[in-house]
Amino acid sequence: MTKKILLYGINFSPELTGIGKYTGEMAAWLAARGHQVRVVTAPPYYPDWKVGAGFKNGYTVIASEARQSTKSGSLVVYRCPLWVPPQPGGIKRLLHLASFALTSLPVMLRQIIWRPDVVWVVEPALFCAPAAVVVARLSGARAWLHVQDFEVDAAFDLGLLRGKFLRGLVTGAERWLMRRFDVVSTISKRMHQRLLDKGVAPARALMAVNWVDLAGFKAEGRGDPGGSGYRAELGIAPDAVVALYSGNMGGKQGLELLAEVAKVIAARAPLPQNTPVGGPPSGRLVFVFCGNGAGRADLVQRCQGLGNVQFLDLQPAARLPDLLAMADIHLLPQRADAADLVMPSKLTGMLASARPVVATAHPGTELAHVVQACGVVVPPEDPQAFADALLLLAADPDLRQRLGAAGFLYAQAHLDKEAVLARFEADLQGLFGR
């Protein structure tokens, strides 16, 4: 049975990374299944922290995306203005999130007349949760909160916010809000347990993992299985070993580690003096850092003078499989104090590309549990251990092949887009049988 579904969140398509990517894909999938979908969101700004070209920072319903009609479903997207700080920090980030919650409130209240069946809101930003609950209750809809990041815990653990009293106040409000929802879902087992620890009733706590479109990531028969197009564009020899980081360059990633690792590798195997920056010799370990975000400028600065590092902007979604196929090894740094507060969304594509992963995580965390079967897990903030793992994989193509194949099988079994979204739709329909 088709439903009226109201999606509410600050990030949405055409953003290429993180929450915007997944919410955009979910909205399009639900509309294609025949549901009537409305989205209240902001203009795209992430991860560059500036409003995207072709979008204005105001109230809009863009014609090209306002009515993407399918055979029976529809998708309408409402954009609301917000304040976008060029350099987000603690209080600036709070004001940024609050600005969207404020400007989107009248648009959300208008949806009461539409009478949605489900109001689905994503965290971040928790600032949006109160409006979602109000609209759901006044329209007779079910209320669903989906937690991509535990932003409150992360803000304090990462030092963006401080103070014992403030933390108690904010976490208390978070727990109260979560209990107002009919369903609270999240993306990993450890994050699911955290929901229970925050007082969400087990019957209302669900798993709704992030997905990957495996159609573009075939283990055999890919049009560009080795990413040769990207290697040619970057001047990288076909037999060079490429270590790739691709994704948002923000605060939770601990990207400064990548610069330290590149320095360690360069010191062990220095490039010949005449080697150009854009053309490492064959057989060498080459780093490619692809992405945008608030932390990119600092990473570029830290890599100054390193001939084994190249930078790329975020690439179009259509080229993502070829970009990830260029890698021989994927890099997944993560700050220790972000463990189990977030599950890196970029991991899904890494696994689907059938390439091994080197990740930083403490034993016992969910990230460590997933990666240890398809890559190498090293302690956070330890460039020497990270470099050792890279050199181990770089010297053993058979090991890389085995670990990469294991990652693809995991993605096939747990992360396939059609299967994950079909389970989500079934859970959504199950709301009305309760």
How confident is the model at residue 218, as a pLDDT? 63
How confident is the model at residue 340, as a pLDDT? 62
Dihedral, 67, 70, 72, 75 alpha carbons, nearest 10: -30
Name which residue leads in pLDDT, 68 or 299.
299
Q: Is the pLDDT of residue 253 over 80?
A: no
Query: What is the β-pairing status of strands 241-246 and 205-207?
Result: unpaired
Banded pLDDT at 250 (limits 50, 70, 90): confident
Q: Which of 109-123, 141-155, 326-340, 347-361 has the lowest mean pLDDT?
A: 326-340
Question: Does an H or E element contain 40, and which?
Answer: strand 36-41
Task: Report the percentage of the chain scoring pLDDT > 70.
Answer: 90
Rounded Cα gap, residues 158 and 160, in angstroms = 6
Q: Which residues make beta-bridge pairs with 382?
A: none
How confident is the model at residue 215, as a pLDDT? 84
What's the rounded mean pLDDT across residues 144-164? 84
Backbone angles phi, psi at 167, to 5 degrees: -65, -45
How confident is the model at residue 72, as a pLDDT? 64
Average pLDDT, the chain: 88
How confident is the model at residue 232, as a pLDDT? 92
Rounded Cα gap, residues 36 and 422, in angstroms = 16
What's the rounded mean pLDDT across residues 415-421? 96
Rounded Cα gap, residues 149 and 191, in angstroms = 9
